[in-house]
Amino acid sequence: MDTKHKGFNTKLIHAGAIDDEYGSANVPIYQTSTFKFKSAQHGADCFAGKSDGYIYTRIGNPTIKALEQNIAELENGFDGIATSSGMGAITSMYMALLGAGSHIVSSAAVYGPARGVLEQDFSRFNVEASFVNTSNIENIKKAIKPNTKVLYIETPANPTMEITDIKACSEIAKENNLTLVVDNTFCSPHLQKPLDMGADVVIHSVTKFINGHADIVGGIIVTKEEELYKKIRHSMAYMGCNMDPTQAFMVLRGVKTLGIRIDRAQQNAMKVATVLKSHLKVEWIKYPGLENHPQYELAKSQMTGFGAMMSFGLKGGFDAGKKLMDNVHLALLAVSLGGVETLIQHPASMTHAGVSKKGKLAAGITDDLIRLSVGIEDVEDIIEDLEEGLKKI
């Protein structure tokens, strides 16, 4: 079925679906590493790109393709490239778009390893990186050099919840001939569509909202145009960062409920944020849906909802945060985010532990910052759990 002009929730369920000879309602798992050619000529034609047909699962597979087309349609992109993890998506993109002597400007607050791999690994191949607070556009302009190739932003940023203006970044990218890449993990295409705002590439850790059930890791890249798609797919396949067919099947199942899951989680998040904001033991809170968020207006203009992620600090600093994390029972003390369950964690010592102390400070990842991913449980229970934990401080 052509779902291009259907609504978002219809696309979630039907985009990318396969019509097979048995009338399968779900996309089957093509758990095969390789595919038979019809003839020697067909094999040669597949390799030469002259004939359609799958070759080898690292390069492509029907179950994986169904997911890639589903997410590409949700993001209004050309096509998708599914990867073994979100980091597989990020490194495939870096590998395709950066080279010795080139430079990338990145949000300072990004998922720790997305920054760490540039600082510790790509730097060994003479790739330069500058990390700036991209919520202030002037910082980006100042950081651009003649050898800058990529502008990489995460909005809202993990874990500071800063918002970066995607349209303004797109203008800067066009003026300076840069590829604008947006990590859309915190929003998912349900709440934000970076390609519609001028981005060239969107990245997701599908481990998070897109799959939503804390049972697989995975990633995806969606490009606006075919040329970038081919370039990044080549890097992904050569580096072997491909997703597995069973993983793709799981994500196809998870994504069907993305709309209702996020709608419910963000309703809960708004209520939780409102309670925390006025709680005596809470020093500060950053949730894009609260008017005291420094980029509340920007969040309202580029996101269609405020999401389920927030960060906050307690009056007793890290020691108080530790007490809270040790005294909640419904919220799981665990990294990851975007699942049906509420998760709480401490970025400075957990997800962003690999970022240098100086880097953390510059990015605003303070020692007292606690990150909360609000799930779809009954909100009264989430609030009660947090309030009970706060009482122990």
Interface with ligand LCS (CB under 6 A): 85-87, 111, 114, 154, 158, 183, 185, 205, 207, 217, 219, 335-337, 351
Measured from the CB of residue 157, what is the shortest distance to ligand LCS in angstroms?
A: 8
Nearer to ligand LCS, 89 or 228 (CB): 89
Give the chain's radius of gyration (CA, Å): 21
- Asked if 208 is an active-site residue, the reply is yes
- Closest contact distance (angstroms) between CB of 373 and ligand LCS is 8
Helix (H, G, I), strand (E, B) or coil at 335: coil
Catalytically annotated residue among 65, 208, 233, 371: 208
Is 296 considered catalytic here? no
E strand segments, the chain: 79-83, 103-107, 128-132, 148-154, 179-183, 201-205, 219-223, 282-286, 309-314, 332-333, 343-345, 370-373
- When the beta carbons of 117 and 275 are compared against ligand LCS, the nearer one is 117
Specify the residue, 114 or 172, whose C-beta has the smaller distance to ligand LCS: 114
The residue among 65 and 346 lying less far from ligand LCS, judged by its C-beta, is 346
300 in active site? no
- Examine the residue annotation and report whether 115 is marked as an active-site residue of this protein: no
- Strand-pair category, 201-205 with 179-183: parallel
Give the nearer residue to ligand LCS in terms of CB position, either 46 or 250.
250
CA distance 371 to 335: 9
Q: How far is CA 388 from CA 113, 164, 308, 312, 332, in A?
A: 33, 35, 21, 17, 14
Q: Which residue is nearest to ligand LCS (CB)?
A: 86
Q: Which of 79, 165, 183, 244 is an active site residue?
A: 183
Distance, CA of 250 to CA of 67 (rounded, Å): 10
Catalytic residue among 54, 94, 111, 152: 111
Give whichever of 46 and 110 is closer to ligand LCS, judged by the CB atom: 110
C-alpha span between 322 and 157 (Å, rounded): 23
- Two structure tokens written together for 76: 């209004």
Determine how β-strand 282-286 pairs with β-strand 148-154: unpaired
To ligand LCS, the closest distance from the beta carbon of 21 in angstroms equals 34
Structure tokens at 208: 């998070």
Which CB contacts under 8 angstroms, 24+ apart, belong to 356-361?
A: 356/119, 359/108, 359/115, 359/119, 359/131
Shortest distance (Å) from residue 110 CB to ligand LCS: 7
Catalytic residues: 58, 111, 183, 208
